[in-house]
Structure 1
Amino acid sequence: MSAPEQSAMILLRNAEVFAPEPLGRRHLLIGGGRILAVLAADADAPHGMPIEVIDLDGARLLPGFIDGHVHVTGGGGEGGFATRISPLPLSRYTHSGVTSVIGLLGTDDCARSTRELVASLLALREQGLGAWGYCGGYHLPPTTLTGSVRGDIAFVDPLIGVGELAISDHRSSQPSLDELLRIASEAHVGGLMSGKAGIVHLHLGDGPRGLDLVRRAVAETELPARVFNPTHVNRRRALFEEAVELAGKGCHVDITAFPVEDGEDAWSAADALQRYLDSGAPPRCVTVSSDAGGCLPCFDGEGRLSHMDVGTPGALLVTLQELLGRGLPLERILPAFTSNVASLLRLPRKGSIAVGSDADLLVLDDNAVLRDVMLGGEWHLRDGASLRRGPFEPVPSATHDKTGSN
């Protein structure tokens, strides 16, 4: 399925724009899949060209979410081959407000491969989604296409880093500091050669060593702190405190929007982001991702899988809605889902509303319910109704889709 042809230009009038900073009431001119102009509220519409005019009547308009941790090939497998999770279709992302994804491999980097990952990313691109990814997986040596992390980042277009390399986890390769540094240097130099992010996206387990390897890497080497990008940092409260401290040294830390039970030694994504922003750590150094398509496992004392859940893209929207319900300003929390991710991953046309940016846009109603989704200048959701889906998804019924609950 090729990307849809672009229609006439669109003028979105009377939008309350969060870019993610608040711009107030604005009009947006969209054409060729990009934002052509951000106009003042009293500006006249351009003349002499075909333009579809849509009045948003003061609804909030924001950049599409960039989900920085997605198992686009499906995750799982810790409980046997029957527990391998199937890939999610296009609308599970777009109808949750996710307009770009960063794909990766996890525990299963043996049956699943970087080759399969790249194919899945390219398939999502053909459907209009922004899609990049990481070579490697939990284990060392990392699975690659070219034979090296540096080569994959330098020569394979969608690959921008390596990950999710597991540390402090019984499923990891138990890497030493030297091994971590060697991988990090490969990623960093590959990024320098190609203008890509060149980061190491690190899966953090429940182990007591926590972020010790990362602290030592930042303190003892010349590698920039931004190269080390730990995720799942809210899975233990003590680990979260370590992550906040590392963010103060320049690491970008990633919060996972997984379910947290009452009394569990973890912070929900909403709690973690609020605590991070209140901590005084750099606001630009925190992101939120969903672990969509990945297994959310629980293990017994002998390391056997006892039960599992599956991450969903809708967790990002639910987290945003929860924080808005607590009274946090949208402009304070939105960067963690948009511009912070784009900045870390060096995706200049994503994560913001500005002239030249891709027209990946979300419209929220007064109750923070996702009403409309535009992807590359094309509507995928309008007034809650599904307009576009992947090639093998069922045709939507006349009943409106319910977003934010998947």
Structure 2
Amino acid sequence: FLGHQDVLIEGQKISFIGELQADLLNDLPGSQILEAGGLVATPGFIDPHVHIMGGGGEGGFANRTPEINVTDIVAAGVTTVVGCLGTDGITRDTSGLLAKARGLEGISTYIFTGNYQLPARTLTGSVIDDIVLIDKIIGAGEIAISDPRSFQPGVEDLAHLTSQCHVGGLLSKKAGVTHFHVGPHSDRLSLLHKLIDGYPVPASSVYATHITRSEELLKDAVSLASKGAFVDMTAEDDTVDWVRQYASFGGDLRRITLSSDGNGSLPKFDEHNKLVGLSLAKQETLYQQVWACAEIPELGFSDALALATSNTADALKLHHKGRLAAGNDADIVLTDENQQIQHAFSCGKQVYCDGNILIQGAFG
């Protein structure tokens, strides 16, 4: 907590946090003042796993989920998203994902190259080339393991992929992270443990999601995080319970993030892997669950907020985001005592004002 502070935004950046002299603004022609007394300022949320062009399709073409609208993102307090593909990398591809990311004007967008399968389907023909040459591509994912929808890669396959991502990140000053979809199979995270233990791959470049499928998987994720990897929970109605369990197992709270899986499908399979149900993940669930986690006594407000801000910025090496600090991007959300968003800024541009979204997609 920084207490009562003034925040000065210049262009896209926060230039000052502290107490401004009253006459200073007179020397700044064209400046505007937003009186925000009584509101809480937080960094804009970073959602590292969003199906911005939709997902699904496991039940046939009619089960493909819709693309996301920028208004849905902003309404959830999110100012930065990372788009990904899921099971379907055929009728949806990286070029379409890149176009969609560029079309979400008014917020910061990045994407992963590839989808569930290996070898990865890429834009240039190479994972490392995609990361180095395409500005918005910061890594690969979501690569499926421990799942019947996976292409069942071995540890050698993962070592080759994560090494390409890591080196691509070094060359382009990007995250170079590999984002893993973890399914319900009993192998859980064994491949990722073998990868980190047996190969000179930086553990911090490994980022596993969907870790709340079982208590056994959660414990495995705690172990993986202890080695320096990042792990991610998909925000759902019971996220508070899972976060509490993660903490009780001794999980490193600096290595865990929350994501929405926004506009992805949430399929339900029976014991024979037959699809028996399908629902749509919503971006707003992330916002709701972060604030719910803030009520966990052993966690507290700062640690809960970090799940969608500073921790995520660290996982994705977005060091100019996720914290309210001079020099960082002016991604700021102002909420009232009921956690309702009143104002929001994305890279210095106001995108939310008095409960109204100020940016719209071309078609709403």
- 1:324 corresponds to which residue? 294
* SS of residue matched to 2:32: strand
Instruction: Tell me which amino acid in the other structure corresponds to 2:183.
Output: G
The separation in 2 between residues aligned to 1:122 and 1:245, in whole angstroms, is 37
The separation in 1 between residues aligned to 2:160 and 2:122, in whole angstroms, is 15
The correspondence for 1:186, drawn from 148, 152, 164, is 164
- 2:57 corresponds to which residue? 77
Superposed CA deviations along residues 36-60 of structure 1, whole A, max 9, x for unmatched, are 2112277764322232112111311
Instruction: Tell me which amino acid in the other structure corresponds to 1:175.
Output: P
Residues 1:289 and 2:259 are matched in the alignment: yes
- Identify unmatched segments of 5+ residues in structure 2: none
Instruction: Tell me which amino acid in the other structure corresponds to 2:58.
Output: E
Superposed CA deviations along residues 49-104 of structure 1, whole A, max 9, x for unmatched, are 23211211131100000000001111010110011111111000001101000011
The separation in 2 between residues aligned to 1:362 and 1:275, in whole angstroms, is 28
The separation in 2 between residues aligned to 1:52 and 1:43, in whole angstroms, is 13
Q: How many residues get paired?
A: 362
The separation in 1 between residues aligned to 2:175 and 2:84, in whole angstroms, is 15
The separation in 2 between residues aligned to 1:53 and 1:192, in whole angstroms, is 41
- 1:7 corresponds to which residue? none
- 1:388 corresponds to which residue? 359
- 2:348 corresponds to which residue? 377
Residues 1:219 and 2:197 are matched in the alignment: yes
- 2:92 corresponds to which residue? 112
The separation in 2 between residues aligned to 1:203 and 1:247, in whole angstroms, is 16
The correspondence for 1:36, drawn from 9, 15, 33, is 15
The separation in 2 between residues aligned to 1:216 and 1:110, in whole angstroms, is 30
Instruction: Tell me which amino acid in the other structure corresponds to 1:105.
Output: L
* SS of residue matched to 1:52: coil
Matches within 5 A, 1:136-215: 136-215=114-193
Report sequence identity in percent.
38
The separation in 1 between residues aligned to 2:9 and 2:197, in whole angstroms, is 46
- 1:400 corresponds to which residue? none
Matches within 5 A, 1:56-75: 56-75=36-55
The separation in 2 between residues aligned to 1:188 and 1:71, in whole angstroms, is 23
Measured after TM superposition, the shift of residue 354 of structure 1 is 1.0
- Identify unmatched segments of 5+ residues in structure 1: 1-21, 260-267, 394-406
The separation in 1 between residues aligned to 2:234 and 2:112, in whole angstroms, is 17
Superposition RMSD on alpha carbons, in Å?
1.5
Measured after TM superposition, the shift of residue 357 of structure 1 is 1.4
The correspondence for 2:305, drawn from 330, 334, 338, is 334
Retained in 2: the 8 A contact 1:25–1:41? Answer: no
TM-score (norm 1): 0.86
Question: Higher mean Cα deviation, 275-284 or 62-71?
Answer: 275-284
TM-score (norm 2): 0.95
Residues 1:308 and 2:278 are matched in the alignment: yes
